[in-house]
Structure 1
Amino acid sequence: MQLGLKDRLFVVTGAAQGIGSAIVKSLVEEGATVAALDIDAEGLQALASLAGVRTYAGDLSRAEDAHRLCKRVLDEQGAVHGLVTAAGGVRGQVGKPLESVSEADWHSIFNANVDAAMWCAQVFAPAMKAAGSGRIVTLSSGAGLRPSLTGIQSYAAAKHALVGLTKQLALELGPDGITVNSVAPGFVLSNPSTARQWEAFGQARQEQVLHGIHMRRLGCADDIADAVLFLCSERAAWISGQILSVDGGHA
């Protein structure tokens, strides 16, 4: 299957590790060029040597900073064909009782998972409108469709909000030839944070989670990257406003 990604420029946020890094590498393998964005400047160094990749370090959670960084991408690289918002995660948090959740913890997860996607879309969507086509793919989660295995209230709420943003942008941007979809991963061992979460479950809980997956295995970053590439491709030209669960089957 020809995906039609050769020589097209995609912006990937949260690119420094895990799923974001896998998406960058997969896009490059298909002949695309990539602007890789992340707050982790050191982590981006591993991508800087890849042909067709330029890295941009910065905090996307604040509108002013995100707009500045995204406009720099446009100034330096020109037309953008797609945006993949993989920035997010639990920001080092663990599940705790409702009464113990602080305002700062609540907002930090929303800033990373929802706000960053919004601010980047504000800059790149007009460029796609001008071209008459584009792709936006958000990375939500099974936690955006049901309660979160993490037990983190703000994470579940933020991912539900990201699903809502995805569907709203699909409605708004569709007339301009821009598709907007989301990939909702199940439990994926993709970085040190998810590895720690998995270990913290303990054997009994791990077995329970695996028993609830039809394929009886956890996901890997490439499983998610493959789904993202399809939604970025010409083969997905009439798919928009959809949430694609990539979770091995959920019992």
Structure 2
Amino acid sequence: PQADNEHEISLCHSYLAILASFRGDYETAVSLAETSLALNQQLNHKPGLAFAQNLRGTLAHRRGDYDAAQAHYEASLALRRELGDLHGTAVALNNLGNLANARQDLTAARRYYDESQLLFKEINHQPGRATTLGNAGVIAMRLGELTEARHLHEESLILKQQLGNRRSIAISLVNLGEVNVLLGEADAARRAFHEALRLTTAIQEQPLALDALVGVAGLLPEADAVKLWHLAWQHPASTRETQEKAAQQLAALGVAAEPFELPDLAEVVADVLRPYT
């Protein structure tokens, strides 16, 4: 019974860490995740340990500590395979694909995603299939396969809408917006980014809102775009990948990324959406 209670406490720490990460409070999230990891190590509870390793990897990934993320994801994958957990194995492979993508290793990313997709299909796990379809779309976009990328993102979005997970839907909408920008379809891109912003506002998911703002900024007048890219570059809730995208946009304009007083994110999102509501 005591071990069961300690495992439940570790799960509480993990879920609180996830909530903190959605708010962009990474310091709190990492502290909670480390506590969960330590508790599971003490208990030698392998399913809980695999979950905690995966969570710790996700947080390290978001903050740009790719070496730590790799170590945590691989530890989680090894445990999932040892346990014969096909779902957990697919999740770990997908996350390793995300990390390879962030490191610009698109060949490895596609390999991880394909393996993950096969496992999700084998166990008929629709949320996982939707996620890996979207991630495959990201790789296709980065390889310049824009028509294929849009098809994959649309297929992923349909599945996610059927499942009703608003955060997952918002991720697909941001991805679809980015592809439509590259295809020169500004109106479709704007609709996708705006819907993503409405969803992230409803669920209070700051990191994803900032990613959507980076995308929609490219459809605005330059002065307004620069403000949004500066915000995404500096905001503490931004993931490293969002910060890098914002910095690249500023550099393309010859604008230096400089610190400034941060406005309220919710007010910024409301201002972006106001002309269209």
Give me the TM-score of the superposition, normalised by structure 1.
0.33
TM-score (norm 2): 0.31
Structure of higher RCO (CA pairs closer than 8 Å, 6+ residues apart): 1
The structure with the greater share of residues assigned to strand is 1
Larger radius of gyration: 2
Bigger fraction of residues in helix = 2
